[in-house]
Chain A
Amino acid sequence: MQWVDTIIQGILLGGLYALYATGLSLMFGIMKLVNLAHGDLIVLAAFVIVVLASLLPPGSGVVLALVLSLPMMFAVGYGLQVGFLNRTLDRDILPPLIVTFGFSIIIQNGLLEIFSADSRRLPLTGWESASLSIASGISIGTVPLVCFASAVAVIAGLNFLIYRTEIGRAFRATSDDPETAQLMGIDHRRLFAVAAGIAMMVCAIAALYLGLRANFDPTIGPARLLYAFEAVIVGGLGSLWGTLIGGMIIGVAQTVGAQINPEWQILTGHLAFLIVLVVRPRGLFPKSEG
């Protein structure tokens, strides 16, 4: 029973990693931009939610704070893309890496300056501390369950956006061939800004569960980025459902490792990533032409 519980917890943890990874995957998929500040932007969103929650009347809940943070994070993504990232594209692979690495440092130090290095947690107002008991020895926390459901909903929603809507068609066309997309009347820079805005909204959703499940402080962003990368690569570039599976594999590997020896949690996650990389170098569900 203990192992069943371990695996269930791992799968649910995978939902969180998938949420970390989805925004990263979206930006890479559409504009071939690797955002090294992704983890730090999730942490930034977590602080935004903390501040909003503290400004709201007590008891109104973190979900309202999340809802309020969504347009703000969209604006952050849109602004970063228009102000900086669009200027780094079209040339070389290196400028966007250097610029986003710079953002990573700036965001971490900015947050340290304002909020100090103390670790934080989002305030729990009720449902967040509840749990469901499914069988003897297995109980599922509401937060991990809702987090996993959110990951599924976010990925289903994004897939609908990408494959069933006009702007999604424009995303795919621009991802294929930005120059020809312009010949269709698509302003690719504005489209990239919208994509970055959407990616940052997903970061805000990830940040809610980051802050509800565990403590966080300004320096933990890069490690979240690492889990996100692993989930994306295990799943295969270009497939959001693959990213969810990738997150689940990393999550299960971590909880199983922790069950064997609590010190092994992070190690077994990375080992699972390396094994997949050896066996299936392009991930489990790569897009056909990759």
Chain B
Amino acid sequence: MALLQTVKLSTGYGDFQALFDVDIDVAEGQIVAVIGANGAGKSTLLKAVARLLPVGVDAVRFDDADISGLAASQAVRLGITLVPEGRRLFPSLSVEENLQIGGYSARRGSWRLAEVYDLFPRLVERRHHMGTALSGGEQQMVAIGRALMSNPRLLLCDELSLGLAPIVIQDIYAALPRIRDAGSSLVIVEQDIAQAMRVADRVYCLQEGRITLTGRPAELSREAIHTAYFGA
């Protein structure tokens, strides 16, 4: 049974429609990657699942229940947490406070401050710094750790590698399997296709708001991805 299922999901911003009848499935324990060019609707998909955007009845199902009517804060309590694009750390909170606020309405689970510091040891010595004083990579670690503090069943990660040095991206991607093994399924949105293919169990490609390709990374040819990504 799918943990997350979107059924003919359409949404957008005001008069602008960004997604058209998008169907994705995420099974428990899976890492699913959503790839696509700028403006393809990847972030929109994550925001719709995280309940920041309005969707039709029954368009988003979580744990076999319709969650289309929930607010973002309620979705967190069910176990859906988004690591937003651009990290969005709270500038007036220290690193540790940013992590603590992630546990504001946490479900029971294994992620607490100690476990997050164990996952990202670099944050320990930075714990009393303000979040915005950190490097981009460290900020991304805080953003992931903050989301983990809610003990998500489904972690949605938007553009984890954006603007980061390759070595830092490796560190961050190395953490994803550990997060999965601790009990969270993941949906990652990524522009770096190679990175996404290495870690994902399943890939969806979005183009102009529609799914153009789906499959297991090993089964997809470069040509098929190229076509799905850029159009024929």
- Is B81 among interface residues, defined by CB-CB distance under 8 A? yes
Contact of A185 among B90, B92, B97, B150 (CB under 8 A): B150
- The interface residues of chain B lying within 8 Å CB-to-CB of A186 are 73, 101, 104-105
Subset of 26 A-B contacts with CB under 8 Å? A166-B104, A169-B97, A169-B100, A170-B101, A172-B90, A173-B90, A173-B92, A173-B93, A173-B101, A176-B92, A179-B52, A179-B72, A181-B101, A182-B72, A183-B52, A183-B72, A183-B84, A184-B102, A184-B105, A184-B146, A184-B150, A185-B106, A185-B150, A186-B105, A187-B71, A188-B73
What's the Cα separation between A172 and B72 when bound, in Å?
19
Residues of A in contact with B (beta carbons under 8 Å apart): 166, 169-170, 172-173, 175-177, 179-188, 289
Residues of B within 8 A of A (CB): 50, 52, 71-74, 76-77, 81-82, 84, 88, 90-93, 97, 100-102, 104-106, 146-147, 150
Q: Judging by beta carbons under 8 Å apart, are B91 and A182 in contact?
A: no
Query: Which A residues are in CB contact (< 8 Å) with B88?
Result: 177, 180
State whether B101 touches A169 (Cβ < 8 A). yes
Which residue from chain B places its CB closest to the CB of A168 in the assembled complex? B97
Closest 7 A/B residue pairs (Cβ) = A185-B105, A185-B76, A182-B72, A180-B88, A176-B90, A173-B90, A187-B73
Given contacts A184-B102, A184-B150, A185-B104, contact A177 B73 (CB under 8 A): no
A182 touching B101 by the CB < 8 A rule?
no
Does B76 contact A183, Cβ atoms closer than 8 Å?
Answer: yes
Candidate in B72, B76, B88, B91 with the most chain A CB atoms within 10 angstroms: B72
Contacts A169-B97, A172-B92 given; does A182 touch B81 at CB 8 Å: no
Bound-state CA distance A175–B92 (Å) is: 9
Q: List residues of chain B with CB within 8 A of the CB of A185.
A: 73, 76-77, 104-106, 150
- Complex Cα gap A289–B131 (Å): 14
Residue numbers in A under 8 Å from B52 (CB-CB): 179, 182-183
Closest A residue, CB atoms, query B77: A185
Bound form: Cα–Cα A181–B102 in Å: 9
A175 (CB) vs chain B CBs: closest residue: B92
CA of A267 to CA of B97, assembled, Å:
45
A175 to B90, CA, bound (A): 9
Say whether A177 contacts B105, CB under 8 Å: no
Smallest CB separation, A169 vs chain B (Å): 5
Q: How far is the CB of A179 from the nearest CB of chain B, in Å?
A: 7
Give the chain B neighbours of A184 by CB distance below 8 A. 73, 76, 101-102, 104-105, 146, 150
- Say how far A164's CB is from chain B's closest CB, in angstroms: 11
Report yes or no: A180 in contact with B104, Cβ–Cβ below 8 A.
no
B100: chain A residues within 8 A (beta carbon): 166, 169
Q: How far is the CA of A71 from the CA of B106 in the complex (A)?
A: 29
Collect the chain A residues with CB atoms within 8 Å of residue B146's CB. Answer: 184
Residues of B within 8 A of A179 (CB): 52, 72
Q: Which residues from chain A contact B90 at a C-beta distance below 8 Å? A: 172-173, 176-177, 180-181
Please judge, given known A-B contacts A166-B104, A170-B101, A177-B88, whether A183 and B93 are in contact too, CB under 8 Å: no
Taking the nearest CB of chain B, how far is it from the CB of A52, in angstroms? 36
> Which listed residue, A176, A180, A188, touches B84 by the CB 8 Å rule?
A180
Q: Is the CB of A176 within 8 A of B71?
A: no
Cα A169 to Cα B146 in complex, Å, equals 14
Chain A residues whose CB sits within 8 angstroms of the CB of B71 once the complex forms:
182, 187
Q: Across the interface, which residues of B come within 8 angstroms of A182, CB to CB?
A: 52, 71-73, 76
CB distance from A237 to the nearest CB of B (A): 13
Contact pick for B93, options A166, A176, A187, A289, CB 8 Å: A176
The distance in angstroms between the C-alpha atoms of A185 and B77, with both chains bound, is 6
Shortest Cβ distance from residue A289 to the other chain B in the assembled complex, whole angstroms: 7
Q: How far is the CA of A208 from the CA of B52 in the complex (A)?
A: 43
Give CA–CA (A182, B71) in the complex, Å: 8
Query: Of A166, A169, A183, which contacts B82 at CB under 8 A?
Result: A183
Considering only CB atoms, which chain A residue lies closest to B78 in the complex? A185
| Smallest Cβ-Cβ distance to A182: which chain B residue | B72
Chain B residues with Cβ below 8 Å from A180 are 84, 88, 90
